[in-house]
Structure 1
Amino acid sequence: MSEPSAVLPNVTMIAAVGRNGVIGDGLGMPWHLPEDLRFFKRTTMGHPMVMGRRTFDSMGALPGRRSVVVTRRRDWSAPGVEVAHSLPEALDLVSGAEQVFVVGGGEIYRQAMRYAARLLVTEVDLSPAGSVTFPEIDPSVWVETARDARDGFAWVTWERRA
């Protein structure tokens, strides 16, 4: 298995991010936004999701989506999921999919940033305490292409610049 060397056009990162970059505290999300959870379900349904083990521990395998869990633990397994021991290995497992969603957590997002073609970021109008963050979005690399403002948050689409 070789490491991907460039942006993969079918890879999208999807995350809910506070004003301070926080996405969680290592145990779960610091907010409950039912409308955003419905958006997440609608957007990812039918597509593979790549996530770290702690993210999997917090949400489990979701129906209607293939789950690929990245973990360093060689002995780890869970029903209904595929296991990869690196992000490149996980992306290789789902390489034939029309669309792949990277769903967290912080370390997986940092590693995936170099491969993603698109970011779907829910900008949450809160600055919660938490140790898990989303990587900074560099405007020299990414351009905002859509924004849908809601009450207390906005759905923002970023596309990688050519």
Structure 2
Amino acid sequence: MGQPVAVVEKPSTTPGVVRFELNRSLTGSGHEHFRSPSDAIGPRPAAVLARRLFDTDHVEAVHMFSNIVTVDLRKGSDTAGLFDLMRDLYKYWKPGVEPPVFADEEPADEPASAGTDAAASGGDAELSEAAKRVPSHLLERSRSARERWKAKQGG
């Protein structure tokens, strides 16, 4: 689940610096600069990506502006794995990861009048089943609108 981020890796004229262009804005219209993992605090996308980049031990510093990520590499390091890390930034369920199972809770007993009102007002059994899921004030509003319409039509 989640969408992969489109990433384009672009070399820089400065050795040891690489630029990535993403199809997602990470910082809005502001600049963010991270010199260490301790600078990347919080749940913001820019901070999350910076922490993940620092975890690779290939990165000395990270600068982000909107959808541009500039990475200062450690001496002797390359960009191996950085592209995939950015691409998978918003992928929550990866192959081999078992998604959580949520138990379906039984809905609270609702008054049976909602279903019978729909059937009494000209609805069929299928509508009555659907009416059980519609709040009663909306059913009442619909019933009164139908009555006004029928009165205007003369029937």
TM-score by length of 2: 0.21
TM-score by length of 1: 0.20
Larger Cα-atom Rg:
2
Larger relative contact order (CA 8 Å, sep ≥ 6): 1
